[in-house]
A and B are shown apart, each in its own frame.
Chain A
Amino acid sequence: MTAEESKPGQIITFYSYKGGTGRSMAVANCGCWLVKSYPTLPRGVLIMDWDLEAPGLHRYFAEVTERSDNKDRPGIINYFDALQQRLKNDPALYDRLDDDNAWKVLRDEFPLDDYLVRNVISGVDFIKAGRYDAAYAELISRFNWVDFYNDCGAVFPAFRDLLLHAYDFCLIDSRTGFNDVSGICTMLLPERLVLVFTPNLQSVAGVLDLAARAADYRLASNDPRTLSMFPLPSRIENAEHDLKQTWQKQYQADFESVFRSTSWMPAT
């Protein structure tokens, strides 16, 4: 049995409703921590920058990502754009994707290799948001994820399964807010969702709303995986002890209330 045929890995998405939470840094640190803590992982860790509108995760690994052999390497948006073109020209390929083993078709016909920045640190591969050239902005505004999903929806479970079989852990740095890309990152791909928030009302309310929607979406989904959620408070001011305590009590109660209402945490 090859490593990729053994137990599937996990996809973990880091999401924040607003920017400036330290989410990308948490993703980068988590990737490094995983390979340090589990040095014998057979397939390793993949980090993906899905913050297509404001990519920046590559800067944490600049020594490798800015190297001449990686600088112009394509990323996520280029992968899906090329895949969309290929499926338009080869409809028979799509028929083969509507199947439980679709990830193998994707692996063989449309592998990730050309898009991977290998070993940004030992054991961690990275996929950038895209190739940051003159065409990047135009490409991300032109690419219509909803149309692509409606025309070629089977691509997404196949892509998800490809990641699960290729890596032990796949960490996704999601786009913020409520939009097409954050929907893919928080609802279609992960089985673990880290909800990063700063102690302010907008930030907390945003992740709570997203958490409820993601739980509802998974419950109505044919994706059989669970969706575990982990609240991650960030940028806490330790000097303000009383204020910190008050906030902690408040957001804990808010999260518990949402988790109960979404059946995620039924009464015991």
Chain B
Amino acid sequence: MDISEDTERWLRTAGYQYYCFISYPKIHGDIGKFAWRVKDAIQKQLAATVHNPQVFLDNTDIPHGTDWERMVSRSLCGSVVMVALCLSAYYRSAHRWCGLEWAAMEKLGSKRLTGHTLRPIVPIMLRAERPVPDAVLRTQYVEMTAASLTWEKYCATLEFKKSIRQIVDYIGDVAEAIAINRVAAENCPDFLVSGESAFADWRPLRQEFPLHVRQ
């Protein structure tokens, strides 16, 4: 759904600084670059209907020397939707912040989207690995598994562009729903992401041995 001018205006006055917050595990440079491409594509697509839309990505939107945890927390609170780049590293305890961001956004969404079936998180599935945590399985996801074999090259594909359009439509739906509920992004400067990871109970499974021919 396109975001109406009224909704755009209301979101701005109600403290929503970002339409989208990109959450991802920092495992290597490729996923960092891909996260940037997702941010850029969502921002450009949103710009078709919204004036100067902002999408948060920690790498580009946190100035050097600032308090990282506070900035991430404040920005998450001031975001309409969180897009999560999901592969097993996202659920691992080594990347606990991903699970904390997920839990915090779910909590914010439960207040903001009361009465709606919409959720405030869009998982992008980058791998077909199993198991997927329950919290992720409960949410309708966008599949981009091919991206994790080619990363930046994938961003030139029709599949990527189509998926970004779907995500932006969804952001529009959530934005309109929040505006209808009239729930402002309150106290974001004091908001702190903390507590338990949404994936605290998740344990990875070992993949079967490759090319194993059973006797």
Contact = CB atoms under 8 A, between A and B. Distances in A.
Contact of B149 (A149, A182, A226): A226
Interface stretch (B41-49, B104-112, B191-199, B201-209): B201-209
A183 interface: yes
A187 interface: yes
A85 B128 CA distance: 34
A264 interface: yes
Contacts of B206: 153
B150 A183 contact: no
A153 B154 CA distance: 31
A215 B149 contact: yes
B137 interface: no
A6 interface: no
A186 to B, nearest CB: 8
A150 B151 contact: no
B28 A225 contact: yes
Contacts of B145: 219, 263
Contacts of B127: 219-222, 224
B159 interface: yes
Contacts of B210: 183-184, 186-188, 213-214, 217
B87 A222 contact: yes
B31 interface: yes
A49 to B, nearest CB: 19
A177 to B, nearest CB: 9
A188 to B, nearest CB: 6
A226 B150 contact: yes
A219 B213 contact: no
Nearest to B31: A224
Interface in A225-268: 225-228, 263-268
B88 interface: yes
A263 B13 CA distance: 44
Contacts, number: 89
Interface residues of B, number: 32
B7 to A, nearest CB: 34
Interface string B144-166: 01101111001011110000000
A228 B153 CA distance: 11
Contact of A217 (B151, B157, B159, B207): B207
Contacts of B188: none
Contacts of B204: 222
B149 A263 contact: yes
Contact of B27 (A150, A153, A224, A268): A224
A18 interface: no
A41 B14 CA distance: 54
Nearest to B156: A268
B157 A268 contact: yes
Contact of B209 (A146, A215, A225, A267): A146
Nearest to A262: B149
Contacts of B151: 226
B158 A187 contact: no
Interface in B120-159: 127-130, 145-146, 148-151, 154, 156-159
B212 A183 contact: yes
Contact of A227 (B31, B129, B149): B149
B158 A267 contact: yes
Given A178-B211, A221-B129, A264-B149, 8 more contacts: A149-B209, A217-B207, A219-B127, A221-B127, A222-B89, A224-B27, A225-B28, A226-B148
3 tightest A-B CB contacts, nearest first: A183-B211, A183-B210, A263-B146
